[in-house]
């Protein structure tokens, strides 16, 4: 056992202390705390808290009974205002390490959706497991072991009701066949309508007992308004497989963001926290000058492209996922946005940007093109950054990041092309976790007159 003083948090959100010149990582701690820990012999440099001897004034009682074991939330022990401060501090530090001349950002506070850090996840996802007896829950922290849960306070209540209702129906099947067939359940809940869409993921669709249990469950008062089955026989890390069948209800769920109606397919990516997504869209719209043409890279289903097109901009939206592109085009039609205002291109961003002809049409805008980049956690490919900021050379660009570490790396490369950071605003998409979104606006240092 050791006595340690927690100095700071690492990028994973765990406390870090020093002992005899070595770094020790201690999950579920807060900077400034003194703790008694047990060192994990199997994981060098990692320790577990035995007792908090000097608690932080920001330490609170976790709301969820599964906290600490579940691999979902890692910060429920930290008061929410302090979570926001810690995230803002992290973003600020990483930006200044990458671009030392960046403007002071320390006065910025991470925005939170409507000041409500609970029941914000409108995409609810649980996995099935168990040996002989079916269980449903989340993966235990640091593992692929399924742990049973009976609550999840960060999920929308309607999504939980559907998930637990379906689980009860399938649990009555019992036995190994049901466990082997059922993989997970995903429910999307609309924030603007009463629609709910459930997608059951199975290894195969031949289990008649699962089918019978599903038919019976769909007659309940809590039943989703649409139900789909996705077949995913492989044991990889992806949630969904290639085949999806609609069983009942609509093909897509409707939800509204920034005055635009979006149509969302069962397996397509859309923002998990739609209230926070509205904040992101507002920040992006505010940063795009009037009259600018826009190139939206990693566009998904058009979260930014459609509101911009509706406002009158000409937008090219580039996205590799064809399901997301189909959703975006369907949303264009339902919103009656003219096709010439927004064109979706279904190809990888790196393929699109390496061809000069792909972006030449954007140069006719009255104030020059603006580029939006909203990459996955891995950040942008180096070639994409060089093509965009070296060849296309927009007057302004907006980088929407879900990973401060790769954001810092990419901003360093962007700065080498002669761009300066105009603003950076964190947005708290996932309360009670160390994850944070950030909207950064950059501008070419010496734009042509």
* Residue 38, CA atoms < 13 Å, CB-side half-sphere: 7
d(CA 120, CA 274): 8
79 vs 58: CA distance, rounded Å:
5
User: In the annotation, is 402 catalytic?
Assistant: yes
Q: To 10 degrees, what angle do helices 157-171 and 208-217 make? A: 140
Is 308:315 a contact under the CB 8 Å cutoff? yes
By CB neighbour count within 10 A (0-12 exposed, 13-18 middle, 19+ buried), where does 44 fall? exposed
Neighbouring C-alpha atoms within 13 Å toward the C-beta of 351? 7
The greatest distance separating any two alpha carbons of the chain, rounded to the nearest whole angstrom, comes to: 73
Count, residues in the chain:
449
CB 160 within 8 A of CB 118: no
What does the DSSP assignment read for 142-169? TSS-EEE-S--TTB-HHHHHHHHHHHHH
| Catalytic residue of the set 33, 89, 402, 405 | 402
Catalytic site residues?
402, 437
């Amino acid at each position: 056992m050791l006595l340690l003083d927690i100095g700071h948090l690492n990028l994973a959100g765990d406390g870090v202390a020093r002992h005899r010149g070595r770094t020790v990582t201690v999950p579920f701690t807060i900077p400034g705390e003194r703790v008694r820990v047990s060192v994990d012999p199997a994981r060098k440099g990692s320790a577990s808290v035995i007792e908090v001897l000097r608690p932080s004034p920001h330490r609170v009682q976790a709301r969820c009974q599964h906290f600490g074991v579940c691999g979902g939330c890692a910060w429920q022990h930290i008061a929410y205002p302090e979570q926001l401060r810690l995230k803002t501090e992290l973003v600020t530090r990483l930006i200044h390490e990458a671009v030392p001349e960046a403007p002071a950002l320390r006065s910025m506070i991470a925005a939170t959706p409507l000041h409500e850090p609970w029941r914000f996840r409108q995409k609810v996802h649980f996995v099935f497991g168990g040996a002989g007896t079916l269980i449903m829950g989340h993966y235990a922290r640091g593992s692929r072991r399924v742990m049973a849960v009976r609550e999840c306070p960060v999920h929308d209540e309607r999504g939980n009701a559907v998930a637990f209702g379906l689980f009860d129906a399938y649990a009555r099947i019992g036995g190994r066949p049901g466990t082997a067939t059922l993989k997970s359940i995903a429910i999307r809940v609309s924030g603007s309508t009463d629609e709910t869409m459930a997608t059951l993921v199975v290894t195969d669709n031949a289990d008649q007992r699962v089918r019978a249990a599903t038919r019976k469950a769909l007659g309940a008062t809590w039943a989703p308004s649409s139900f789909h089955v996705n077949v995913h026989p492989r044991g990889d890390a992806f949630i969904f497989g290639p085949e999806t069948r609609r069983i009942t209800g609509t093909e897509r769920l409707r939800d509204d963001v920034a005055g635009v109606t979006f149509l969302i397919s069962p397996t397509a990516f859309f923002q998990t926290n739609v209230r926070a997504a509205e904040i992101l869209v507002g920040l992006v719209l505010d940063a795009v000058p009037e009259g600018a043409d826009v190139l939206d890279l990693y566009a998904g289903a058009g979260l930014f492209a459609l509101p911009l097109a509706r406002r009158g901009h000409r937008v090219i939206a580039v996205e590799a996922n064809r399901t997301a592109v189909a959703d975006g085009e369907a949303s264009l039609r339902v919103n009656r946005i003219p096709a010439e205002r927004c064109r979706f291109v279904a190809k990888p961003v790196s393929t699109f940007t390496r061809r000069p002809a792909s972006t030449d049409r954007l140069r006719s805008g009255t104030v020059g093109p603006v580029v939006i980049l909203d990459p996955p956690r891995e950040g942008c490919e180096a070639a994409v950054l060089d093509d965009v900021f070296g060849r296309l050379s927009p007057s302004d660009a907006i980088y929407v990041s879900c990973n401060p570490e790769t954001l810092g790396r990419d901003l360093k490369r962007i700065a080498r092309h002669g761009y300066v950071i105009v603003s950076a605003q964190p947005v708290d998409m996932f309360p009670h976790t160390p994850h944070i979104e950030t909207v950064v606006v950059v501008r070419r240092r010496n734009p042509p007159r």
